A = this chain, B = another copy of it.
Amino acid sequence: MAVELKDLTKSEENYSQWYNDLVVKAGLAENSAVRGCMVIKPYGYAIWEKMHEVLDGMFKETGHQNAYFPLFIPKSFFSKEANHVEGFAKECAVVTHYRLKNDENGKGIVVDPAARLEEEWIVRPTSETIIWNTYKGWINSYRDLPILCNQWANVVRWEMRTRLFLRTAEFLWQEGHTAHETREEAMEETLKMIKVYQKFAEEWLCLPVIVGHKSPNERFAGAEDTLTIEALMQDGKALQSGTSHFLGQNFAKAFDVKYANREGKLEYVWATSWGVSTRLMGALIMAHSDNNGLVLPPKLAPTQVVIVPIYKGEEQLAAARVKMNEIADALKAKGVRVKVDDRDNVRAGFKFAEYELKGVPVRLALGQRDLANGTIELARRDTLTKETVSQEGLIDYIVNLLDEQQKNIFQKALDYRNSMITKVDTWEEFVEVLNNKGGFISAHWDGTPETEQAIKEATKATIRCIPLDVEPEEGKCIFTGKPSHNRVLFAKSY
């Protein structure tokens, strides 16, 4: 194994360090000179770009259009929606000045005190306020509705403790903001979009998710209801991977956005918003990877197949090149993203380790015996198994194998997730499972924010969601013993 890999921390020793090592060593992202802001490196960005492309297609298929709204939000906008300001306006980047000048004492450049903004600008942590201020000018009557807009953008939230992809001061995301005539239509949209996220997570990221409602404590600041997709990481902690909010008429009221309805009466507009971010990169990495590196679902892998020659001397390399290019061309013709690595300044073993680290789903190694026999060595990343296969029928074999790996990675994550949902009925069991097994705990809760808060303070576990498909079941709250009508899912989370 190559030198670099020796430094990859084992996940069982220190999961958090393993994750960080992986992100950095696989070339996905790194910390920057700006506190809490990351650099997304080309390999990481290529995966995000693919996610962007697929999601964007799904949004357009469901009737949405993209638009772009300002990066800055006047401070006063945040005060207009009472809950929103509590949730978002406090920890943020504030622009106060618009000019620098040369210091009079020759100490470089300094902020020019004369160039102070009359009203400070906040770098957007989310865009409901600026967008609803804009929608006011777009909406007069029911004929202007619905508005189905999405924005791809960067946002900034000040974070004390940051982790690459999972929690960074600046991150990339999309935020959908829709405006509707009726409560029902807005609620339908909220549900439709969380299902789009579920489909994307499961079919592209191989990430099984539980769809449910957030409890009031965990709701988006300014929402009447928040739907979430919750995934489970390999360390037994949950990761909120996407949310869709029913905002009621809160933002319409805050920004005075009314429309003339079909009877000609003025009414406030109904709203939703929904988003996923580069946090999905963190989910993707933590859900599937192992101590050898990334395991990428083939559908998102920037390189799906790599071909490495095993040779001695220039002549053997030349012979291998002809065959490798032939195979690569045939794979490309089938739409497979393939790379031939014929670098002659690194050993094959180094390359093997590198592609394992980078999570390339299929690695082919072509040796001299293979050339003579019409075979090739094939290693799959998900199972780490190797086999020697015939070059005949190789292309179809690989196309099927990519599909099989996509299914296998999902199934493995699903089996793990399902094995990590534990029903408990007492507080002792709850604490025991939480501390020893982890994962989701299905338990009764009395429905009050106070109890949820008390449980969080006692254990760090929170209600991840009340699943959409929850069954009615009478029981007693594990913490207070008060009556409960259904179970909810608790977990420690990222």
Contact = CB atoms under 8 A, between A and B. Distances in A.
Contact of A71 (B33, B40, B92, B154): B154
B34 A70 contact: yes
A39 B100 contact: no
A218 interface: no
Interface in A73-108: 73-79, 85, 89-101, 108
Interface in A281-304: none
A109 interface: yes
A46 interface: yes
A115 to B, nearest CB: 8
A383 to B, nearest CB: 30
A121 interface: yes
A30 B134 CA distance: 9
B120 A42 contact: no
Contacts of A122: 100
A76 B42 CA distance: 26
Given A95-B95, A121-B34, A72 B39 contact: no
A37 interface: yes
A311 B86 CA distance: 55
Nearest to A123: B95
Contacts of A123: 71, 95, 123
A60 to B, nearest CB: 10
Contacts of A71: 37, 123, 154, 156, 170
Nearest to A40: B68
A340 interface: no
B111 A72 contact: no
A39 B67 contact: yes
A109 B78 contact: yes
22 contacts: A30-B134, A33-B70, A33-B133, A33-B134, A34-B73, A34-B121, A37-B70, A39-B134, A42-B66, A45-B66, A48-B68, A68-B172, A71-B170, A72-B170, A89-B100, A91-B99, A92-B100, A93-B121, A94-B111, A95-B96, A111-B120, A123-B123
Interface of A: 30, 32-34, 37-42, 45-46, 48-49, 65-79, 85, 89-101, 108-109, 111, 120-123, 130, 133-134, 137, 143, 149, 153-154, 156, 158, 170, 172, 345
